[in-house]
Every structure is written in structure tokens, then in C-alpha cells.
Amino acid sequence: MALARGRRGSSEFNYWPGFVDALSTLILAIVFILTVFVVVQFFLSQEVSGKDKALEQLNAKIAQLNDLLSLEKLDKLGLTDELARVRAGLAGAEADRDRVKGLYEGLAKSGTDAASRAGELNKALDSEKQISARALAQVEVLNQQISALRRQLAALEEALDASESRNKESQTRITDLGQRLNIALAQRVQELSRYRSEFFGRLRAILGDRPDIRIVGDRFVFQSEVFFDTGQATLLPEGRAELDKIADALKDLDKKIPSEIPWVLRVDGHTDVRPISSPQYKSNWELSADRAISVVQYLVSLGVPPQRLVAAGFGEFQPLDPAATEEAYRRNRRIELKLTEK
């Protein structure tokens, strides 16, 4: 009986060593896969953290570029487009980073396809590196453009400074010339005033003390009746005799006054306010102008230089006496002689 049991035991197949070998092999495979998974996870975490730092540095550089670009006024639209493209690249990089993180999370959930996921992750990381390199190149281009803009601004500032300096010098010269011109004009005015006083004194001595000839300010005032009949502009013989004396005084004065002093004798015609009733003249203005021209033409005929004479008609618009009386009308009908500058 014992021999029979021993034979049965020796005839049965022993499975336990094979099961132990298979189990140890499976455990080794799992340990290997977990080791690969841990290593890949370590390198992935290092790459992701490195990319995060690179992206943070890139974002910091972009922020600095935004501050610099906000100060630049020239080529603003072109720089804005470049910045938009850089931001688009960054957005793509962030999308790739999110995709990499998704792959990393999927890899954490399933260790069976770790090798294929790792290859996919490496491709994604390479793509992200390329995008980052392009973004850095664009940043470098932007830096060069900003430097060029700064050089242009510096050149413009130098040109503006030079222009302001020239303007200041010109303004100083203009001020100096203006002061010298004012001094010269004041001297000429003083000289002309002296000759005017001499001329008026000469006329007063020549014409005598007549009630129909007065001095009003810087003018000799003759009543129109001295030269013309009522409503007429033809010189009377008595008026021509008076103008002969004035012409002699003017010719003597022209010899004394230096040629650089631009003096003229202005002959002004004035009427009273009553409308003229003459077919020859439509208005008092025409009558006053024609009378002044008659005086000027006669003085020219006596040898007075025509460039030293001016004829002006004022009509009834500058009365000496605004009253509506015969005496006021008589005073307002007048011929005035004024020695003045051109």
C-alpha cells in the first residue's frame, strides 16, 4: 500500500516551480515598466517645468517689449502686428504645453502604452522648442526695430535742437535789426519833423496871417474858397498865386531833405455835408478828390517832383465842425496840406 502511494506521488507532474518562474517573470516585467514610467515621468516633469520657466521668461520679455513699444511713436502699426504674431506663437506654445500636460496625465493613468506616449510627448516637446525658437527670433527682430527707432528719434531730436538754436540766433538778429530799424526810423521822423517845422514856418512867413489859412496840428488848412468856386474844381487865379508861393517853398525843401527820407506832401480835399447838385459830379467825394488832383497837377506844372505829391479826397466824411450852420459848412470846405512820410 505504501509502495503504491509512493508510485502515484512520483507519477504526478509538479506545476509549482513553473508557476513561480512565471510569476517572477511577470513581476520583473511590471517592475521594469514602472521603472520606465518613473524615469519618463521624471524627465517629463523636468521638461515641463523647464518650458514653464522659459515661457515665463518669454512672457517677461514680451511685457518689457510692450512697455518699450508703448513709448515708441513711429512704426506703431508694424510693431503691433509683430507683437500680435508673437502672442499668437505664445498662444500656440501654451496650447502645445496643455496638450503635453494632457499626454502626461494620460500617461499617469495608463502605464501600458508608456513607450508610445513618450515618443508622442518628445515630438510635442520638439515642436514646442521650435515655436519657442521662432518666438525668440521675433523678439530679437523687435529689439532691432526698437533700436533703429531710438536712433531715428535721437537724430530727430538733434535736428530739432539744431533748428531751435538757429531759430534763437535768427530771432536775436531780427530783434537787433528791429531795434536798429526803430532807431533809424525815429531819427528819420525827427529829421522830417524838423523839416516840417521849417517848411511850415516858411509857409507862414510867405502866406502871412490870413483868416482863411490856418494851422491845425501838423497840417496847413486852406478854405476851399481860396482856390475854387462853389461846386467847381478849377483853380482860381488867386489860388494859383498862393500855390506859386507853396511850390517855391516845396522845391527849396526838396533840395534840403536827404534823398533817403521818404517824404511826401499830401493834398487832402474836403467838402461840407450838403449833397452836391451838379451834373459834373455825382458825389462830394468826387468833387473833393478832383480838387486835390487839381492842386497836385498845378504844383507839378511848377516843377515840384510828382513823386513828392499825393492827392486824396475825403468828401464830407471828416468834418472839423459837425454843426449844421453856415459857419460850420464853410470851415469844413477846405484843402489841407500835410508833410508826411510815404
β pairing state of 309-315 and 263-270: parallel
Separation between Cα atoms, residue 195 and residue 199, nearest integer Å: 6
What local confidence, expressed as pLDDT, does residue 185 receive? 55
Q: What is the mean pLDDT of each run of 10 residues along the chain (342 residues)?
A: 48 72 86 85 76 76 72 64 75 76 66 64 76 80 84 83 80 73 59 72 70 80 94 96 92 86 94 91 96 98 96 96 95 94 84
The residues, any chain, with a CB within 8 Å of residue 141's CB and separated by 6 or more, are: 82
- Distance, CA of 44 to chain centre: 59
Residue whose C-alpha cell is 494620460: 106
Separation between Cα atoms, residue 128 and residue 95, nearest integer Å: 9
Q: Which three cell numbers stand for residue 45?
A: 516633469
What local confidence, expressed as pLDDT, does residue 282 receive? 92
What local confidence, expressed as pLDDT, does residue 188 receive? 61
Handedness of CA 293, 263, 220, 209 (dihedral sign): negative
Query: Which of 339, 305, 307, 336 has the alpha carbon at shortest distance from 193?
Result: 339
